């Protein structure tokens, strides 16, 4: 077993705190709609020459999607981490498994 090199940085760990989840959901909630809307602008406006993509309706749709995505992704991450909800949807069913015994194996 080798000793870790002190000059090598330690791997980043994820704390799992609500503040981290909020930052991730905000980053994804702003980045994903900007990426998708930017791609649509490139396709529709720059390549096809259509100006409808620069109207108010697509911009409002992107903003509404961003807000909804941030809210839902934050709640989803908190729920998966067990920091939100009562845990009533979780189940741990008991399973009985019988493993084959070595003496009863057929010879090949």
Residue 12: inside a domain: no
User: With bands split at pLDDT 50, 70 and 90, how would you rate the model's confidence at 79?
Assistant: confident
Cβ(45)–Cβ(53) under 8 Å?
yes
What is the Cα–Cα distance from 92 to 8, expressed in whole angstroms?
41
Computed on alpha carbons and rounded to an integer, the radius of gyration of the chain in Å comes to 25
Residue 4: inside a domain: no
pLDDT surpasses 80 at 14: no
Task: Work out how many domains the chain is built from and give that number.
Answer: 1
To which residue do tokens 């697509």 refer?
58
Residue 2: inside a domain: no
Residue 101: inside a domain: no
Whole-prediction pTM: 0.61
pLDDT surpasses 60 at 1: no
**58: containing domain:** 18-81
What is the Cα–Cα distance from 38 to 16, expressed in whole angstroms?
31
Residue 91: inside a domain: no
Residue 96: inside a domain: no
Residue 93: inside a domain: no
User: With bands split at pLDDT 50, 70 and 90, how would you rate the model's confidence at 12?
Assistant: low
User: With bands split at pLDDT 50, 70 and 90, how would you rate the model's confidence at 91?
Assistant: confident
Residue 73: inside a domain: yes
What is the Cα–Cα distance from 59 to 37, expressed in whole angstroms?
8
């Amino acid at each position: 077993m080798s000793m870790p090199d002190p000059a090598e940085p330690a791997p980043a760990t994820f704390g799992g705190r609500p503040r981290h989840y909020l930052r991730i959901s905000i980053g994804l909630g702003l980045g994903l709609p900007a990426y998708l809307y930017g791609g649509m602008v490139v396709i529709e406006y720059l390549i096809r020459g259509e100006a409808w993509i620069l109207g108010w309706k697509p911009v409002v749709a992107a903003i509404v999607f961003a807000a909804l995505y941030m809210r839902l992704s934050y709640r989803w991450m908190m729920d998966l981490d067990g920091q939100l909800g009562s845990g009533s949807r979780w189940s741990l069913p008991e399973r009985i498994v019988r493993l084959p015994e070595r003496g009863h194996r057929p010879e090949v």
